[in-house]
Structure 1
Amino acid sequence: MPAFTPLEWIVLAIAALAVGASKSGMPAFGPIPAALFATVLPAKASTGAVLGLLLVGDLIAVRMYHAHADWTILRRLFPSVVAGVLLGVVVLWFADDAAVRRLIGATLVLLVVLRVALILRQRRTGGEPRPPAPWLANVFGPLGGLTTMVANAAGPVMTVYFTASRLPVQAILGTAAWFFLLVNAFKVPFSVALGLMTPQSLLLNLLLVPALVVGAFAGRAAARRISPAWFERIVLVLTFTSGVFLLVRA
């Protein structure tokens, strides 16, 4: 495992906290770990390192919200998600670290633009979005699969879809918990085959799990107290800044 500086350990610990928070009721934190890991580790290696932490967070999320999943939506999404994951495998096979860093940065910026566009649309229509047409699963599924394989950053994409489906909050959390546990588990063999998930990355995950657990419980408590509107604005700014940083750094 690389020798990290104290500052790099702090960045990785913050990323682990963000993973825990994103899985326990604050999904807006989802894109931040990918950006932080990619600033410390080589871009391709960072995707495997984040994946191990995400799986731990997924198990916590399923334990918290397992009874609230909408399996009809999950069954509709999975075939197209698998296609997106396989496309992401091809991208990671051929792309170098600089290209992956650009992809992660561009993905984060695109997700912010997508979320802002949705917010503006809801304001124009009085905040009453229509449920998504069934065929949109074939758009969000591949996009979610691609972004989760390449950047571990599909949270905002799928949250937009689940929210637009007019699911109650508990159902969104339960559906997202099972969705990401199953999808991230599906990604593991490909990440191992690509050399992204290694014994060294798993050791790093083990060292960061305590920070993830703290983030999970802190996130669950904070989600009940923080103004959702202000929280989302802050996270959108941080995510956009992280994406631009990775694009410039590449």
Structure 2
Amino acid sequence: MLTDPFFYLVAIPAVILLGLTKGGFAGIGVVAVPMMTLAVSPVMAASIILPILLVQDVVSVWSFRKTWDKAILVLMLPAAAVGIFLGWALAALVEEAAVELAVGAISVVFALQRLWAEHALRAADSIEAGPARPWLGVLCGATAGFTSQIAHAGGPPFQIYVLPRGLPRDVFIGTSAIFFGVVNWMKVPAYLALGQLTPQALATAGVLLPLAIASTWAGVWLVRRVPAEGFYKVIYVLLVLVGGKLMFDGARGLLT
């Protein structure tokens, strides 16, 4: 178990942000790994975060277990499995910084385009329910699996396909919770194969788990008090911020 006080100084807010993400404020948890890398290596940070995510997924899936979209999951989860496999197979060849830069740029452009509309909800409501473009769902699912395996950054690709579907708030959150709950478990064999889930990482994650559970419940409580009509606008703004952060981290990584 890590005992460095500075690690916990950055890990505690990172875990709280992860909890808010799992509670429904999709996207902001992507800053958790960069925050922890201020104190530990990126590999150690990702290894500590994965067990925390697995526990937080239980809370979020349980909280929104009655509201989810089956068609989206059936379309995107098999593709995500392929993306996770590719992420594992190419782990030694793919630069994480390049992945972050590409995902961040696409996310910002997409979110700004949606926010540019006169009313994001009206634009979403004008789209038929269900996946109108299955090829895009498969592509985004595979990309979400790949980027989740490489950098715990699967949220933006998932949102690029699902947000325009115009799902009710709780259905969007429930679908996201189940998708990433399954994706995170699919990543476990890859992490084990790469030797990343060390006893030290697991013990450190265990220390942070009570905070992880509490912050996820807090996220569930808070998101249900955000007016449904304003929820998607909040998520689009968060996507811009997250995409900008990924672009910054990616560009800095490539330059250094």
Aligning the two structures, in what range does the TM-score lie when normalised by the shorter sequence?
0.7 to 0.9
- CA drift of 1:238 comes to 6.0
116, 121, 141: which one pairs with 1:120?
116
- CA drift of 1:241 comes to 3.7
Gaps of 5+ in 2: none
- CA drift of 1:232 comes to 5.4
- Counterparts of 1:75 and 1:238, CA distance in 2: 27
Taking structure 1 as the reference length, the TM-score comes to 0.84
Compared with structure 1, are the counterparts of its residues 37 and 70 closer, same or farther at alpha carbon in structure 2 (3 Å cutoff)?
same
Corresponding residue of 1:248: 252
User: Where does 1:172-211 land on structure 2 (aligned, <5 Å)?
Assistant: 172-211=172-211
1:137 aligns with 2:137: yes
Give the conservation status (yes or no) of the 8 Å contact 2:22–2:177.
yes
- CA drift of 1:233 comes to 3.5
- Counterparts of 1:221 and 1:125, CA distance in 2: 22
User: Where does 1:47-58 land on structure 2 (aligned, <5 Å)?
Assistant: 47-58=46-57
- Counterparts of 1:210 and 1:109, CA distance in 2: 35
Deviations 1:67-94 (A, max 9, x none): 2222222111122211111111123244
Deviations 1:14-67 (A, max 9, x none): 111111111112113232223223333212332222211111111111110112
Compared with structure 1, are the counterparts of its residues 154 and 121 closer, same or farther at alpha carbon in structure 2 (3 Å cutoff)?
farther
Corresponding residue of 1:86: 85
Compared with structure 1, are the counterparts of its residues 215 and 109 closer, same or farther at alpha carbon in structure 2 (3 Å cutoff)?
farther
Deviations 1:154-184 (A, max 9, x none): 1232133222223221211111111111111
Corresponding residue of 2:70: 71
Give the conservation status (yes or no) of the 8 Å contact 2:61–2:178.
yes
Corresponding residue of 1:164: 164
Gaps of 5+ in 1: none
Deviations 1:130-169 (A, max 9, x none): 3541221221111111111111111232133222223221
- CA drift of 1:206 comes to 1.0
- CA drift of 1:125 comes to 11
- Counterparts of 2:234 and 2:81, CA distance in 1: 34
Code of the residue aligned with 2:195 in structure 1: it is G
Corresponding residue of 2:218: 218
Code of the residue aligned with 1:192 in structure 2: it is L
Taking structure 2 as the reference length, the TM-score comes to 0.82
- CA drift of 1:9 comes to 1.2
- Counterparts of 1:158 and 1:50, CA distance in 2: 20
The 10-residue stretch of structure 1 (34-43 or 182-191) with the greater mean CA deviation from structure 2: 34-43
- CA drift of 1:203 comes to 1.1
- Counterparts of 1:46 and 1:174, CA distance in 2: 26
> What is the Cα-based RMSD across aligned positions, in Å?
2.8
Corresponding residue of 1:32: 31
Give the conservation status (yes or no) of the 8 Å contact 1:80–1:138.
yes
> Could you tell me the percent identity over the aligned residues?
24
